[in-house]
Amino acid sequence: MSLLEGENIGLQIDKVRILEDIDLRLEQGELVGLIGPNGAGKSSLVRLLAGVETATRGGIRFDGRPLARIPARTRAQRLGYLAQGAMAHWPLSVEQIIELGRLPYQNWWLQLTPADRDKVERAMRLTETLAYRNRIVTTLSGGEQTLVMLARIFAAEPDLIFADEPVAALDPYHQLHVMEVLRNHAAGGRAAIVVLHDLGLAARFCDRLYLLSHGRLHCCGGVSEVLTRENIAEVYGIDSRVDCNANGVSITSLSRLGDHHP
């Protein structure tokens, strides 16, 4: 049984088809990348899988149970969702933000038990955010903020993490850091699905890739099966050079293909 299974997923908003006919599965230990051009439906798909939005067609099963029938609190404990450009709206401290991760386990009084505190500490260690635990989150750099948001998710100890473009607008150091943290999470017997624009990072870190185009699944499979020159030309509308070497697959964007609008 797969950890997550989606069958024939479709989403329609105001008669516009956002997603159609998407089959997807995820096993324990996997880090899966969701790639595709802007507007391909990556974020929508992640929102459906994370249970933040409801699909208009098809079914999603988590751990063998239909996602819609899992109680909200259980879902919040087992699935972590990092929204695109997630940020804090009040100047809370880093530690307060990460403690929010324990919210799905707490009652109305929000008392943190020693066990809760341990999990918060652990999340800070994993993401290397201990050094600025007392800083105000809104004063941190973009990269540091992303790590704090990830730490908030780790504090809940979810089985499955969905991250929507977690490395957009980050410098290479923080990009690698975020991706490593996610890969370690998956390697520890859990799993993660990451939306990525950087095909190089996708190639380097992901076990498998799903390539979306116009709300449909163009193809899926191992990195070298998905990231071919033909697929990239068809879906992204660019000419590229794909090299396989000791470091994995590297992709160089060369030029736009004239008559193609992805």
Site residues for other proteins per CB under 8 A? 47, 50-52, 72-73, 75-77, 79-81, 83, 86-93, 96-97, 100, 103-104, 106, 108, 110, 134-136, 138-139, 149, 152
Q: Least distance to other proteins from the beta carbon of 130, Å?
A: 15
The CA–CA distances, whole Å, from 127 to 143, 146, 188, 255 equal 11, 10, 15, 37
DSSP strand pairing (208-213 vs 31-35): parallel
DSSP for 206-247? -SEEEEEETTEEEEEEEHHHHS-HHHHHHHH-EEEEEEEETT
CB of 135 to other proteins, least distance (A): 7
Q: From the CB of 208, what's the least distance to other proteins, in Å?
A: 23
Question: 249 and 227 in contact (C-beta within 8 Å)?
Answer: yes
Residue closer to other proteins (CB basis): 12 or 240: 12
**CB 1, CB 189: distance < 8 Å:** no
Nearest approach, Cβ of 104 to other proteins (angstroms)? 5
Q: Looking at beta carbons only, is 65 or 73 nearer to other proteins? A: 73
- Report the candidate in 155, 166, 159, 157 with the shortest Cα–Cα distance to residue 123: 155
> CB-based contacts of 250: which residues, under 8 Å, 6+ apart?
200, 203, 242, 243
Give per-residue burial for 116-134: e unless 16+ CB within 10 Å, then b. beebbeebbebbebeebbe
Shortest spacing between CB 247 and other proteins, in angstroms: 34
Angle at 191 between CA 189 and CA 196, to 5 degrees: 145
> Which residue, 57 or 133, has its beta carbon nearer to other proteins?
133
**Choice between 28 and 96, CB closer to other proteins:** 96
Q: How far is the CB of 124 from other proteins (least distance, A)?
A: 15
For other proteins, which is the closer residue by CB, 167 or 199? 167
- For other proteins, the closer of residues 81 and 236 by Cβ is 81
